[in-house]
Amino acid sequence: MRRLVAISLAGAMFAAAGLAQSRNPWLEQWFKTKTGHYSPMEEARLRAEQQRAERANAALREKTTPQGAPRNESTMRTNPRLEQWFKTKFGHYSPMEEARLRAEQANKSKQARANSGKLLGSL
């Protein structure tokens, strides 16, 4: 009898240890197949993992972004490497660069018209 109790206790301990595992892929797949979603424990673990990754990414962005660097279109348009990459990848300039080139061309044509008007006015 004593041996039976010892074996039963040992079996109960192993069963409890098996149920207390933090992750059992086979059980999770079975639960997902049966119910269509992960178990509540697995969903909580995935949420915690995602939040931990988001915090790590935010900390990395804060750490690697220079504080004095302005993040606006003027910095983007002065980055020739980015424009070269964009032109190589997509076959044309970025929309911001195209707008800048159009504005530059419009300014040149306005100046040319103004200069030609001055020349005609002086004759």
Do 98 and 51 share a structural domain?
no
User: Do the domain assignments include residue 1?
Assistant: no
- Provide the whole-model pTM: 0.35
Domain count, the chain: 2
Do 78 and 60 share a structural domain?
no
User: Do the domain assignments include residue 50?
Assistant: yes
Do 106 and 120 share a structural domain?
yes
User: Do the domain assignments include residue 16?
Assistant: no
Which one is predicted more confidently, 43 or 76? 43
- pLDDT of amino acid 117: 66
Size of the chain in residues: 123
User: Do the domain assignments include residue 80?
Assistant: yes
Q: Is the Cβ–Cβ distance between 65 and 54 less than 8 Å? A: no
* Coil, strand or helix at 37: coil
- pLDDT of amino acid 53: 93
Do 38 and 85 share a structural domain?
no
**Nearest-angstrom CA–CA distance, 73 and 56:** 27
Q: What are the tens digits of pLDDT across the range 12-65?
A: 766 665 555 567 888 888 888 999 888 898 899 999 999 999 998 888 777 766
Supply the range of the domain harboring residue 100. 70-123
User: Do the domain assignments include residue 95?
Assistant: yes
DSSP state of 91: S
DSSP state of 66: -
User: Do the domain assignments include residue 7?
Assistant: no
User: Do the domain assignments include residue 18?
Assistant: no
